[in-house]
Structure 1
Amino acid sequence: MKPMLFEDDPQFWYETLRALGHAAYGGSDFGEVVATAEKITAGDYDSWYEQWSATAERTATEARTALAGGHRVTARDAFLRASNYFRSAEFFLHGNPDDPRIAASYERSVDCFHAAARLFEPKIEPVEIPFEGTVLRGYFYRAPGDAPAPTIVMHNGFDGSAEEMYFFGGAAGLERGYHVLTFDGPGQPAARFHDGLPFRPDWESVITPVVDWLTDTRPEVDSERISLLGLSMGGLLAPRAAAFEHRLAAVIAVDGVYDLGQISTKNLPMPRPEAEALLRAEHAPEIDAAIEALMKTDSTARWAITHGSYAMDVATPRQFLASYLDYTLADGIAEKITCPTLVCEAEDDLFFAGQAQQLYDHLSCPKTLQLFTVAEGAGAHCHTGAQRLAMGRILDWLDTTLNH
């Protein structure tokens, strides 16, 4: 899809498209997004924050006014949009983890989502899942009916939140009679913000306690029909978990990712083993200089490295790229997956082009590859801007797989 705004800044355009796409399930209004984006200076992180924050504050005020007047549906809808706008506001600020605007916007995003959750029927239930001496925070969406129902566990990826997963699949699953559990794992907003937990490659250590919690504490869950959906970087993390957690009835990678080390090393003009050694070296000043130069010319690299250093809890850009080397489904890991697996692929993926096919080719389980194209408006990373189309195909596959 050609940029409507930010023609020379693909990262700003993608995040604008992301906000536009969430209109499909109530996370934005088209006019609000366009009016906000038109005021933003391309590439200016402060400008991005200021305009999205202003829109979020205005929308939250609308929500509170509606609620005070007894207009619960209007209030719910405005709180949902405000939550997403506050999430957008702090998106580019993580290059300075101590920036107070991060905490202020994140907390407002969560507070607005909780306010909306209380206005649903039935209410969306905030949950805390025991995890290694702390908790994983998320939400349980209960499907109608009394009989045990299939459940979709959903988590975001490199930069998104459990709250955002309502727009990226939670609402769609609920409409189709699934219980849905969304949560933030290590490296994701709640775990990073509250407990300082960075990402970790052994994602089965995250998913196994989540499945334990569902089977041990939620009698409404059909324990034989628990599936897992991972979004973006979650398209590697979820398959990684499924390789070792065999209670999952199905796994969905939106979109498939096979090896993040390919991202780390693709701009280094040397064989991969040599590139990996330099990324992990105690000192590599020439590589450091090359990374800094890349960040000055590539808006996506600039954002990914600054945010990634925060999410991985590392001190330098090179350490961030080195951390990516540990996130892979190579060396026989993909082949360990036994449950039916849907691998989604975006024709015009900004981040992981070609990796969905690699993952699919390495699977030995029952498998499906689903391509989403530019011509149908769904070719962007994670099919942003075409959520209803994408979730229809994805959940139809799951319905058939689980006989739901």
Structure 2
Amino acid sequence: MGLLFEDHLHDEFASWLFAYIPSGGPDFGEIAAIGQAVGKGDDAAFHAAFLAAADRNIAEGEAAERAGRPDSARELHLRASAILDASYHPLYGAPTDPRLLAAWRRQIEIMERGFALSDPQPQRLAIPFEGVVMPAWFVPAAAHAEAVRPLVIFTNGYDGTVTDLFFASAVAASRRGYHSLIFDGPGQGGMLYEHGLPLRPDWETVIGAVVDVMVDHPLVDPTRIALNGWSLGGYLAPRAAACEPRLAALIADPFLPSVATGVRAMAMKFGATAEAASDLRHLDPAIIAAMESTIAADPGLDWKIRKRAFWVHGVSSLADYFAVSEAFTVEDRLHDIRCPTLITVAEQDGLAKGGPAAYEALTCPKTLIRFSSVEGAGGHCEMGNRSLLNRRTFDWLDDVFAGKVG
């Protein structure tokens, strides 16, 4: 597929929305039209074009509400929330851009307007966590809204928000008969944008707080709670599962045993020995300086590392980012994961490279599912064919809760 946006990084941000088409996100033609509106424009033009598209959907949704057409209004409001969610990715970085914060707040407002028109209605929850409240929504199973059902807790990665989780996973979970919980943890969405809280490696503390609330939810079967992490959540979820015995199943899409592994490989390309790269906290400053120059010259790396990773981790230098990344590992805890575990491996997903080795090291009941480019699912988190990922994931989870895995 050719580029819909002339800037490659803009195209990467926008193409994430393709995965949301089956669950009510903007259609292909609308995304392409936004790309035409941006043209050769910069990040500000990208943001403005997405805001304009969201405004059109919101205006039409409000007209549908006034005309007594709640189904149309719901679809338009939710679609607008996905468009707003994509609008501010080029604006990432500390300090928080006021345009990002304004779009985020509007995104949540309009998402909740769509939820209010839904049947069943997702419920907003408050998850207490170390003096703050993590924003969360309980999304009921479509055909079993008032029944006690299994729960899937979805946890995000670096730059996803609750809106991403809703479209990428929660809609599919609801259709398959699962209740789900979507939330923003430290370093994610509202917890980062509103509170400036950085990501933390001990994700078991975050998931522990979520499970504390959800085991007492009247519609949740506390013996059938699954945790699903995508992208960087493929590290966060396994780390939590290694320490949280109340989880009945784990899905890692993909499994990321260590954040530092990729950094080590990059450092070695710049001349660091394997021994020198074994502890990134003491990496040669000359190697770091060379890496900084390369990152600054590459718009994609500059956004992913200097803008996104620095902000998310609460650091201001490459040396500090390297140092903090050492704590993000589950390699020494793989044997502590006891629940049935599913690992996905997409053919062209660089983050999935460590999945097969982690699979071999696990001692719990385990399954590995590969996704190929032939299926249109070879990219990161199978975003080119998210429907296939969800179908296989929930087939596996059905089997787990039916006692067929273990």
TM-score after normalising by structure 2:
0.92
Q: Gaps (5+ residues) in structure 1?
A: none
Is residue 12–residue 43 contact of structure 1 (8 Å, CA) maintained in 2?
A: no
Secondary structure, counterpart of 1:352 in structure 2: helix
Per-residue CA deviations over 1:164-199 (Å, capped at 9, x if unaligned) read 211111011111111111111111012112322110
CA distance in 2, matches of 1:353, 1:214: 30
Once residues 146 and 352 of structure 2 are traced to their aligned partners in structure 1, the CA distance between those partners, rounded to angstroms, is 43
Asked if the contact 2:345–2:371 (Cα under 8 Å) also holds between the matched residues in 1, the reply is: yes
Instruction: Name 1:94's counterpart in structure 2.
Output: 92
The separation in 2 between residues aligned to 1:378 and 1:183, in whole angstroms, is: 25
Task: Name which of structure 1's ranges 11-20 and 390-399 shifts more when overlaid on structure 2.
Answer: 11-20
Cα distance change of structure 1 residues 373 and 155 upon mapping to structure 2, 3 Å threshold = same
Which has the higher mean CA deviation after the structures are superposed, 255-264 or 231-240?
A: 255-264
The AA in structure 1 aligned to 2:157 is: G
- Residue type of the alignment partner of 1:384: M
The answer to whether the 8 A contact 1:92-1:307 is kept is no
Count of residue pairs the alignment pairs up: 398
Q: What letter is aligned with 1:293?
A: T
CA contact (8 A) 1:92 1:303 kept: no
Contact 2:19 2:383 (8 Å CA) reproduced:
yes
Deviations 1:244-263 (A, max 9, x none): 10111100011221211022
Gaps of 5+ in 2: none
Q: Distance in 1 between matches of 2:146 and 2:55?
A: 39
Runs of 4+ in 1 over 4 A off after TM superposition: none
Q: Which residue of 2 aligns with 1:66?
A: 64
Report the counterpart of residue 376 of structure 1 in structure 2. 375
Question: Percent identity at matched positions?
Answer: 35
Change (3 A) 1:369 1:43: farther
1:188-229 Cα deviation digits (max 9, x unpaired)? 01211232211000110011111111112x121111000000
The answer to whether the Cα contact below 8 Å between 1:60 and 1:78 also exists between their aligned partners in 2 is yes
| Alpha-carbon distance in 2 for matches of 1:8, 1:321 | 29
Measured in 2, the distance between the counterparts of 1:111 and 1:145 equals: 23
CA offset digits 1:323-380 (Å, max 9, x no partner): 222211212x12210000000111111x414122232122111111111111111111
Code of the aligned partner of 2:158: F
- Residues 99-139 of structure 1 show CA distances to partners (whole Å, capped at 9, x for unaligned) of 21111111111111111110101211111111112211110
Stretch moving more, 24-33 or 88-97: 88-97
CA distance in 2, matches of 1:54, 1:401: 45
- For residues 386-401 of structure 1, the aligned pairs below 5 Å read 386-401=385-400
Conserved? CA contact 2:125–2:137, under 8 Å: yes
Query: TM-score under structure 1 normalisation?
Result: 0.92
Shift of 1:142: 2.0
How many Å separate the matches in 2 of 1:19 and 1:243?
32
Provide the aligned C-alpha RMSD in A: 2.1
| Secondary structure, counterpart of 1:306 in structure 2 | helix
State how 1:1-400 maps to structure 2 within 5 Å.
2-5=1-4, 9=8, 11-41=9-39, 44-143=42-141, 144=144, 146-216=146-216, 218-268=217-267, 269-275=271-277, 277=279, 279-281=280-282, 284=285, 287-297=288-298, 299-331=300-332, 333-349=333-349, 351-400=350-399
The Cα shift of 1:59 comes to: 1.7
- In 2: Cα distance, 1:54 partner to 1:399 partner: 41
Alpha-carbon offset, residue 281 of structure 1 = 5.0
Q: What per-residue deviation string (whole Å, max 9, x for no partner) do you get for residues 264-309 of structure 1?
A: 22222212442365x5359926513422322312514533431111
Distance 1:108 1:253, change over 3 A: same
Summarize the Cα distance change of 1:105–1:272 in structure 2 as closer, same or farther, 3 Å threshold: farther
CA, structure 1 residues 318+67, in 2 after alignment: closer, same or farther (shift >3 Å)?
Answer: farther
Any idea what the Cα deviations from partners look like across 1:71-124, whole Å, max 9, x if unmatched?
A: 111111111111111111111212342321111111111111111110101211
Task: Give how far 1:239 is off.
Answer: 0.6
Distance 1:195 1:262 in 2: 29
State the secondary structure of the residue aligned to 1:167. helix
Change (3 A) 1:342 1:308: same
**Residue type of the partner of 1:40?**
V
